[in-house]
Amino acid sequence: MRYNLDFKNSFDTTMLFWIERFVRNKLTSLSNRQVSDKNKLAFIIQQLVKGTKSIEELEVFVKEARNIGLNGINTYFNPLLKLYNYTSNLGLASMKEIDEELLSDFLASETSSLSDASKKNHRIALLSLFSYIDKQNENEDGSSYLFKIELKNWGGLSGKSGTKLPSFMNQDEVNRFLEAIDKYEFTDNIAYRNRLIIKIILYTGIRVSEMLNLKLKDIFNEKDVYMLQIRGKGNKPRVVMIKKSIIENDLQNWLNIRVCNSDILVCNQKGDRLTQAYVSRIVENILISAGIRKEKNGAHMLRHSFATLLYSKHHDLILVQEALGHADINTSRIYTHFDKDRLRKTTEIF
């Protein structure tokens, strides 16, 4: 069913309606292979069919969808949440007042401090939303209002922010961090689980989402190592290894008390999937206890630390690409910036 572009009573409610419709479309079109609770996803979609009362309520449903494994939804929704708040302050009367210039102004003001990758995600989210509206709105005569948003001339990607080098720990900081993991006092019976999560991410470089989606059947005992079968972005499979001695104690103790509602390896105390935000809070708390300060203290920093040390030790970009599951080797090249031996040669030129 198609709708008149401005059929709601006010601009804010109309904007909310179109973002809500777009999010609902994405919930049904994004890959649901890693969704841990299909019934929960069906419930969320049904609630969006009924409609939400506010952007905050819609945000709650999006977070719930992400928490059950639909990770890509945030890439689309977060920029649109910013757009909703941005346009709400402009006093617009009609969706037709939105054009390339307004969206370029929005991107310039809202993404100035972000990396190029985040800026691209914002642009993609806007293009996707207005392309969707182009196809779904209908005038009384049966025609459609077309925004035809392209944002080809937006120069934000060449701004002063540029591509940021990732935060990472050096070898000394990693050693201090590992000591802090074992000393940190966790509450209740979650110590074995939390140490297991952090050690696997740090020693293999897998993404937090990949860790939280890891299933019992994905772990294989191979002599002195565990082989982990990972499903990466785009459901691309790869295998990583970790020495058995590193996680054996935490793994076995966790399995003895583990009570999960599905076959995922780790879960919260209700038996459901853990959130990435929770894992990042754990990492940040341990970093603080170890006296380590980084620009970004989240769990993703562990992946950058693994990749940086891996390249520094072996100088093998293909190995880094395969270990991290990068589709393009150029994504892995950022870790060559931390090759101190190579950079040291520049000091000897004279």
Residues taking part in catalysis: 207, 233, 300, 303, 326, 335
Inter-residue contact 85 to 4 (CB < 8 Å): no
The gap between the terminal CA atoms of the chain, to the nearest Å, is: 72
Q: How far apart are CA 258 and CA 312, in angstroms?
A: 37
Burial 116-151 (b: 16+ CB within 10 A, else e): bebbebbbebbebbbbbbeebbbeeeeeebebebeb
Residue partners of 349: CB distance under 8 A and separation at least 6 = none
> How many angstroms separate the CA atoms of 62 and 41, rounded?
10
The rounded distance, in Å, linking the Cα atoms of 31 and 20 is 19
Amino acid at position 251, single letter: L
Least Cα distance to 260 among 274, 245, 275, 276 occurs for 274
In this structure, how many other beta carbons lie within 10 angstroms of the beta carbon of residue 221?
A: 9
Amino acid at 190: I
Taking the mean position of all CA atoms in its chain, how far away is CA 211?
13
61-67 long-range contacts, CB within 8 A, separation 24+: 61/23, 62/23, 64/40, 65/27, 65/41, 66/275, 67/273, 67/275
Q: How far is CA 182 from the centre of its chain?
A: 27
**Identity of the amino acid at 311:** Y
Beta-carbon neighbour count of residue 313 at 10 Å? 10
